[in-house]
């Protein structure tokens, strides 16, 4: 790479220091730098604040403010461009335009789906890319096929008189499922309901769904609930009443995942790129150097070097749980 490349390291999220200092998905919003929030999943949100503003989409600012119980206002910089990341509603990638262009993807999905535009590669000098499913074994089945199998499973169970719960992430996948099953007017449990109401406000497009209320519910129905451990009160209450449970996440590609949740079924629908999509995304961006982060960073970096001949290095940090992605 010509000229001095910016310093890139794990420090308060990802710190990039060149002509401009920038934090991507920082834990602390700092006053002396540009702060960018890619989306409102908890592992990407700030926890403390020197100032209360960041570059992010309006939806992300609204959802993030709700989750961290502080109002985060919009910031802007003529050095930062936003591009759709296609991961969840409001998710964005950021292009920092200094002497070297640096693209940070956050979590990304390249597929157009459920009214959302997928991430498109952007030419860059340096690419910072997520590696959640960065192992070659993660190749997702076709999304429409899995959705069809899931619908058959839901409708068969309802026809047999069983209530059904689909367990997934409160922000993103829950709203996608609520849209997909709008004909069944699903009940939304707790945080799924409150999150969906915020999304509804932001996008101005009402959902056809109902609020969960255990006292008023009887007979077969579909519910969308947050992912929860085996021992929750909700699980045991409805298990005794014949409910069938399924988890909806890309992680069910690993067989142990479904078993560890003690559920009846699992559907590998993901809001992330799978391994081949990550490789193709990198190819499309034509970077001189790649840094991988979140998830299987080492494996993805090695594969990028081997398959594309592009210098690639992992940026690693102590993540608490892959479930949070
Ligand atoms: Zn995410």
Cα 305 to averaged position of ligand 1 atoms, centre (Å): 25
pLDDT of 124 > 60? The answer is yes
Q: Is 73 contained in some domain?
A: yes
- Distance of alpha carbon 41 from alpha carbon 140, whole angstroms: 22
- Distance of alpha carbon 103 from alpha carbon 94, whole angstroms: 6
- Residue 205 burial (10 A CB sphere; 0-12, 13-18, 19+): exposed
Task: Find the CATH number of the domain harbouring 68.
Answer: 3.60.15.10
177 and 245, same domain (yes or no): yes
Cα 118 to averaged position of ligand 1 atoms, centre (Å): 14
39 and 131, same domain (yes or no): yes
Mean pLDDT of 172-193: 94
Cα 217 to averaged position of ligand 1 atoms, centre (Å): 32
Task: Find the CATH number of the domain harbouring 240.
Answer: 3.40.50.10890
State residue 324's pLDDT score.
Answer: 39
156 and 115, same domain (yes or no): no
Cα 256 to averaged position of ligand 1 atoms, centre (Å): 22
- Residue 61 burial (10 A CB sphere; 0-12, 13-18, 19+): buried
Cα 91 to averaged position of ligand 1 atoms, centre (Å): 8
Place of tokens 């494996």: 299
Distances in whole angstroms, Cα of residue 315 to Cα of each of 6, 11, 293: 15, 10, 5
Cα 102 to averaged position of ligand 1 atoms, centre (Å): 20
**Taking a C-beta distance cutoff of 8 angstroms, is the pair 84, 118 a contact?**
yes
Cα 87 to averaged position of ligand 1 atoms, centre (Å): 7
Cα 313 to averaged position of ligand 1 atoms, centre (Å): 21
pLDDT digits (tens, 9 = 90+) for 2-23: 567 899 999 999 999 998 999 9
198, two tokens? 């915020």
Q: Is 1 contained in some domain?
A: no
Number of domains making up the chain: 2
Cα 151 to averaged position of ligand 1 atoms, centre (Å): 24
Phi, psi angle pair for 232, to nearest 5°: -70, 155
Nearest alpha-carbon partner for 215 in 197, 241, 192: 241
Cα 109 to averaged position of ligand 1 atoms, centre (Å): 10
Cα 325 to averaged position of ligand 1 atoms, centre (Å): 5
Mean pLDDT of 175-184: 95
Residues contacting 274, CB < 8 A, separation 6+: 133, 138, 139, 140, 250
Q: How confident is the model at residue 321 (pLDDT cuts 50, 70, 90)?
A: very low
**Taking a C-beta distance cutoff of 8 angstroms, is the pair 114, 130 a contact?**
no
End of a domain among 250, 267, 284?
267
71 and 122, same domain (yes or no): yes
Q: Is 191 contained in some domain?
A: yes
Cα 37 to averaged position of ligand 1 atoms, centre (Å): 11
Q: Is 2 contained in some domain?
A: no
Q: Is 182 contained in some domain?
A: yes
- Distance of alpha carbon 136 from alpha carbon 114, whole angstroms: 26
pTM summary value: 0.92
- Distance of alpha carbon 264 from alpha carbon 189, whole angstroms: 19
- Distance of alpha carbon 92 from alpha carbon 60, whole angstroms: 9
End of a domain among 220, 237, 267?
267
State residue 160's pLDDT score.
Answer: 97
Cα 41 to averaged position of ligand 1 atoms, centre (Å): 5
Cα 201 to averaged position of ligand 1 atoms, centre (Å): 21
- How many C-beta neighbours within 10 Å does residue 118 have? 17
The full DSSP string for 61-104 is: HHHHHHHHTS--EE---TTEEEEE--SSTT-EEEEEESSSEEEE
End of a domain among 267, 284, 309?
267
Residues contacting 148, CB < 8 A, separation 6+: none
Cα 139 to averaged position of ligand 1 atoms, centre (Å): 18
By residue range, what is the domain housing residue 241?
143-267
Cα 1 to averaged position of ligand 1 atoms, centre (Å): 31
Cα 222 to averaged position of ligand 1 atoms, centre (Å): 25
Q: Is 79 contained in some domain?
A: yes
- Distance of alpha carbon 251 from alpha carbon 322, whole angstroms: 9
Please give the mean pLDDT across all residues of the chain: 92
pLDDT digits (tens, 9 = 90+) for 217-250: 878 999 999 987 655 788 888 888 999 999 999 9
**Taking a C-beta distance cutoff of 8 angstroms, is the pair 162, 208 a contact?**
no
pLDDT digits (tens, 9 = 90+) for 164-173: 999 999 999 9
State residue 77's pLDDT score.
Answer: 96
User: 3-state DSSP helix/strand/coil percent for the chain, to nearest 5?
Assistant: 30, 25, 45
120 and 60, same domain (yes or no): yes
Cα 45 to averaged position of ligand 1 atoms, centre (Å): 10
263 and 277, same domain (yes or no): no
Cα 266 to averaged position of ligand 1 atoms, centre (Å): 19
Cα 131 to averaged position of ligand 1 atoms, centre (Å): 12
172, two tokens? 């993103």
Cα 43 to averaged position of ligand 1 atoms, centre (Å): 8
Q: How confident is the model at residue 280 (pLDDT cuts 50, 70, 90)?
A: very high
209 and 280, same domain (yes or no): no
Whats the size of the chain, residue-wise? 325
Question: Residue 224, Cα to own-chain centre: how many angstroms?
Answer: 17
52 and 201, same domain (yes or no): no
pLDDT digits (tens, 9 = 90+) for 149-161: 999 999 999 999 9
């Amino acid at each position: 790479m010509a000229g001095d490349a910016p310093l890139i390291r794990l420090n308060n999220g990802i710190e990039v220091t060149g002509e401009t200092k920038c934090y991507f998905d920082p834990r602390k919003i700092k006053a002396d730098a540009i702060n960018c929030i890619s989306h409102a999943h908890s592992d990407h949100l700030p926890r403390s604040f020197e100032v209360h503003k960041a570059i992010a989409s309006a939806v992300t600012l609204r959802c993030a403010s709700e989750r961290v119980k502080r109002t985060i206002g919009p910031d802007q910089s003529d050095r930062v461009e936003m591009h759709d990341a296609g991961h969840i509603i409001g998710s964005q990638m950021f292009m920092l335009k200094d002497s070297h262009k640096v693209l940070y993807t956050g979590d990304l999905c390249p597929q157009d789906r459920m009214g959302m535009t997928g991430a498109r590669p952007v030419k860059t000098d340096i690419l910072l890319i997520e590696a959640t499913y960065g192992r070659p074994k993660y190749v997702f089945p076709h999304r429409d096929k899995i959705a069809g199998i899931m619908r058959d499973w839901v409708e068969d169970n309802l026809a047999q008189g069983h209530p059904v719960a689909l367990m997934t992430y409160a922000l993103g996948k829950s709203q996608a499922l609520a849209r997909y099953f709008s004909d069944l007017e699903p009940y939304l449990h707790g945080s799924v309901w409150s999150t969906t109401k915020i999304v509804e406000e932001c996008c101005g497009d009402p959902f056809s769904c109902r609020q969960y209320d255990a006292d008023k519910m009887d007979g077969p129905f579909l519910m969308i609930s947050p992912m929860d451990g085996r021992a929750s009160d909700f699980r045991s209450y409805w298990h005794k009443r014949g409910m069938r449970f399924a988890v909806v996440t890309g992680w069910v590609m690993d067989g142990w995942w479904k078993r560890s949740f003690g559920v009846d079924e699992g559907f590998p629908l993901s809001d992330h790129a799978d391994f081949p999509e990550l490789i193709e995304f990198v190819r499309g961006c034509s970077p001189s150097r790649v840094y991988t982060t979140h998830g299987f960073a080492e494996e993805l970096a090695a594969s990028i070097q081997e398959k594309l001949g592009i210098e690639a290095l992992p940026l690693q940090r102590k993540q608490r749980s892959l479930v949070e992605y």
